[in-house]
Amino acid sequence: MKNTNIRVVNTQNLKGLIRTAEVLGLNQYPDIRSLDLDEAGFHILELLLEDHKGFTNRDVIHHRVSVLAKVWQRPGEPMKPAEFLLDVRAQDWDELIDAESMNRALDEFIGQLEGIKDKSKSERNELGRRTKALFS
């Protein structure tokens, strides 16, 4: 069964979701200036409360999500994500890619890379045999 309660976002999209929550006056969002997000990182969002009714801005349909955000780390330091709650507009949530789709896309991409690698390897080996035959 497909778990559609988990989404994956890049840093640019996460920052956009945080700014949207702040502009709309939703209840839960971190201070973006205090986060040292890895600019090349991916972040995991898990749906906690669908159609959350907060104290403010009740007219905006939104969900409460838990975020595990990849933060910048010094080489040799252990990986420790930032954890926080975030209110996300329902329409934004629906546009995010779910974790299973992301995993399938990555598997397909890696398979394509391996195919390219194998092809170039066989071409190099073939070239090597031809070159060897010239000098035999």
Q: What is the pLDDT of residue 102?
A: 80
Count of structural domains within the chain:
2
Residue 51's nearest CA partner among 89, 94, 108, 104 is: 89
> What's the pTM?
0.73
Same domain as 90, residue 103: no
Same domain as 81, residue 122: no
Give the DSSP letter string of 90-111: HHHHHHSEEHHHHHHHHHHHHH
Q: What is the pLDDT of residue 115?
A: 77
Same domain as 72, residue 136: no
Length of the chain, please?
136
Segments forming the whole domain that contains residue 66? 1-95
- pLDDT tens sequence for the chain (136 residues): 355 799 999 999 999 999 999 999 888 999 988 889 999 889 999 999 887 666 666 678 899 999 999 998 778 888 789 999 999 999 999 999 888 888 888 888 888 888 776 665 555 555 555 555 555 5
Same domain as 24, residue 79: yes
Q: What is the pLDDT of residue 90?
A: 92
